[in-house]
Amino acid sequence: MVNIESWPSYVNRIPLVAVVGMMGEWMTIYACLQQAIKNFEYVIVCGDGVSPKAKEMFDKFMSDYASVVSGRVQFIEMDKIDPWPWVAMARPGVEYENIESIPMKSWSKAGFKRFNYARAIFPNSIMCSLHSDVVVFDGTGERIKNRMMSIKNPFFDSEWYSMVTMHDRKTVMSILSADSGPGNLKGHPALKQRKTYDYPGDWGLMSIYASSMLSVGPDPMGHEAECLYPWSRETQCEKKGCDTSVPHAVHFEWLRDSCRDKDFSNFSWKHIERDWIEKNDSDLGKQLHVIDDVYFPVNFKLDEKNILRISE
């Protein structure tokens, strides 16, 4: 007798695995992992030339949470691995003196390495890309599983999850079109948004079935970025950048050394106070408490002149 298991039943019993890429994100990796271990059964942190400070914060997390992470969180440094050593990764619009000055590293190479390592260890899992500057909300793991249960073709489908981007703990960024103005806020034309401050799905948080036919490769629009192959219109045009559900995480995109004293006064993305969101968008507002409960090794605040101040 052959027992045939349904896809939703199978998803419900296989693990969620977060695949985290890390380089120099020392200000956010601790907070990222604090929430990751609450939402995913396993976490694989893949370094690609990790800075000493980032590795120090990772080690601090592993020590502080030793009783929780044993057997669940692992780290591998992949800096010396080049999956396509014959391909240099020129950036669009950048002029290079010679071919030797073109960088060899890229997001697409890093993604290829991370995903193939993770699926070799956990072939029967839901594999999730999680950037090391993303802090997921409570319950995100369950929401990801529910979404994955509903996909039509596990071998070719993917899911992409909305997030919000924050300058600091009190300020959310609103992603607007160029022709937005006071009293006439318009969402970004390339995105399908629930609200103008939602970023509706990118590599910061997405998922696939680990044993699917999907793989990471260079994006046709700029091969330093990553793209899923086989390429599909559904993934690139109907799912990625099109998640209108309540956000699943906060992206601290600007919390890094290169953004110290960054001036946002003329930035095309506007900001909205967290207090306003908590009063007017309770579905998101009730989740934002998470960022008060996680640890950041720095103080950071957008001041009255819209300059991001970061201090240790």
CA 221-226-228 angle, to 5 degrees, is 95
The fold of 7-311 is Spore Coat Polysaccharide Biosynthesis Protein SpsA; Chain A (3.90.550)
Task: Spell out the domain ranges in the chain.
Answer: 7-311
Question: Dihedral of CA 144/150/155/156: which sign?
Answer: negative
176 and 268 in contact (C-beta within 8 Å)? yes
What pLDDT digit, counting tens, does each position of 270-287 carry?
788 999 999 999 999 999
What pLDDT digit, counting tens, does each position of 60-112 carry?
999 999 999 999 999 999 999 999 998 888 888 888 888 888 888 889 999 99
Query: What 3-state class would DSSP assign to 23?
Result: coil
Helix axes 29-39, 140-149, angle to 10 degrees: 60
The answer for residues whose C-beta is within 8 angstroms of residue 249's C-beta and 6 or more apart is: 35, 134, 135, 136, 137, 140, 161, 163, 164, 204, 205
What pLDDT digit, counting tens, does each position of 117-141 carry?
999 999 999 999 999 999 999 999 9
What pLDDT digit, counting tens, does each position of 156-185 carry?
999 999 999 999 999 998 876 544 444 445
